[in-house]
Amino acid sequence: MKDPIILQRKDKLSISQESYWKDLLYRAVKIGTELEVAPDKGCDRPTFEDAVRNALSPSGSLEQLGPNGVLDVSPEHCGIEIRIIGRQPHFDALLKQYTTIMDVVRRERARPRSTCGLHFHILTPGLAEPVPEIILANLWNLTRRYAPELKYLTSCGESREALCRHRQYNSHLEMIRHSPSLESMSEIQQVLKKSRIVPEHQNFFNLEHLGFMRDGDVLPFHVEFRFPDADISALSVTAKTFLFLTLLLKSVDLSHYGLIHVGKVAPWKRKMELLNLLSNNDGNLATSDTAGISDEIIEELRQGCHEMLDLLVPTFDYLDAIAPYQILEVLAESPISLMRCVGKDWDQIDMWLNAHLPKVSELEMDQIDYRLMQHIELVEWSGQASKETWQWYAARELYIPPQDLECRLEKLRSLRGLRWDARRGTMVFGN
């Protein structure tokens, strides 16, 4: 992070509190989306809506994931809105779910027009204790500090003059004015609630669903990122889900030190200039007028995105989330908007993103490998004096040479992680 400024606060988290809240939120957080899309030209909305609803089989209940994880499909000003139930982010599971949903949406010839958005809801259903206010304050300031980069990275327009939709339904005008260094997050929420500049639910970072305790801590914890444009690439949406999760968990890490500041005066003014260039109401129909975004500004935004992702790398490592990080690095260089500007359709966008996924070679496993795994899993060969003694014992039990055993153990290290447990005198799996 360039020129970081950390403001000291009395409520900063201790090391044990930081560890507790990072682990708890990772376990408790669910991230759901609202995807808005329009019907194809010539197709009436009710027919389109019925076709999508029938294909996705919404569960109608937040307690039931259903076959596709969809809550409901309903009319929206731009066409329809698909509400996708929040779940704990797991890359493979999310990608499979969003691939199914996007296959339906594309088959029905849906269009993500400039009137359409993609809203990410970060929820903590069932959380029985309030979240320390400083975590929310750091998430608020991280979002403010990287607002231009976040808007650029999630842009999905079709031309350089209209890289993203207009500001009206995801406005930053109030967000940039209010700092938790001067106001409590509860006070900021009240300002947003009463604002005549931006309707409360149309804020870039929407706080309307939050509840606050008397001491300022947060329960329920439910925030909404409204700024991403409508996106019908499963890989892109899955990666962006992890982006918002890592921003939250990074906010916990920062809360051990204090409150992250948006930055020095001149860089902060430049951030606001970039944000206004990207997100305004001056374009045709429902687009922002981004004609002023030159190649030099694009490069500036790219560098800002890489700075943000560099800051989040340890959190991606904590989540063992290499794949979404790689996709976000690609989107930092060329968001979906720029891909569409050069003529790529959604299938070509998916192919391009898929080509940048880390290649994981399939491990060939035979019966001896499975027997070895089972013995380790069930701790059957414990009580050995050393790692070397254990390996000689295992090789004898499996009737294989020690060199062969070492190769098989290396395979299991890459698959499950292995470590020597001296107390129990055996090898154990690390994950």
Q: Are 177 and 358 in contact (CB under 8 A)?
A: no
Instruction: Please write the tens of the pLDDT for every residue from 131-179.
Output: 999 999 999 999 999 999 999 999 999 999 999 999 999 999 999 999 9
Q: Is residue 360 part of a domain?
A: no
Query: Cα(132)–Cα(215) distance, rounded to whole angstroms?
Result: 9
Query: pTM value?
Result: 0.91
Q: Which two tokens stand for residue 164?
A: 């993203």
Below-70 pLDDT ranges, the chain: 360-363, 431
Same domain, 257 and 210: yes
Q: Which two tokens stand for residue 37?
A: 């899309």
What is the β-pairing status of strands 6-7 and 418-421? unpaired
Same domain, 306 and 417: no
Q: Is residue 417 part of a domain?
A: yes
Same domain, 322 and 422: no
Q: Which of 354, 383, 407 is the last residue of a domain?
A: 354
Same domain, 209 and 318: yes
Q: Which of 298, 326, 354 is the last residue of a domain?
A: 354
Q: Is residue 401 part of a domain?
A: yes
Which range of residues forms the domain containing residue 137?
6-354
Same domain, 262 and 393: no
Q: Count the Cβ atoms, other than its own, within 10 Å of residue 5.
A: 14
Same domain, 386 and 274: no
Same domain, 53 and 185: yes
Q: Is residue 361 part of a domain?
A: no
Q: Which of 324, 354, 384 is the last residue of a domain?
A: 354
- In the chain, the number of structural domains is 2
Q: Which residues contact 341 (CB under 8 A, 6 or more apart)?
A: 157, 158, 159, 160, 163
Same domain, 376 and 335: no
Give the position of tokens 């350089």.
160
Q: Is residue 1 part of a domain?
A: no
Residue 288: CATH number of its domain:
3.30.590
Query: Cα(301)–Cα(303) distance, rounded to whole angstroms?
Result: 5
Instruction: Please write the tens of the pLDDT for every residue from 185-219.
Output: 999 999 999 999 999 999 999 999 999 999 999 99
Same domain, 68 and 192: yes
Give the model's pLDDT for residue 431.
Answer: 63
Q: Is residue 225 part of a domain?
A: yes
C-alpha distances in angstroms, 314 versus 246, 322, 325, 421, 426? 9, 11, 11, 26, 30
Radius of gyration (Cα) for the chain, nearest Å? 24
Cβ density class 283-301: b for 16+ within 10 Å, e for less = beebbbbbeebeeebbebb
Same domain, 166 and 273: yes
Same domain, 383 and 328: no
Give the model's pLDDT for residue 415.
Answer: 84
Same domain, 261 and 316: yes
Closest residue by Cα to residue 315 from 64, 78, 18: 18
Q: Is residue 218 part of a domain?
A: yes
Give the model's pLDDT for residue 360.
Answer: 61
Q: Torsions phi, psi of 162, nearest 5?
A: -150, 65
What is the β-pairing status of strands 79-87 and 30-37? antiparallel
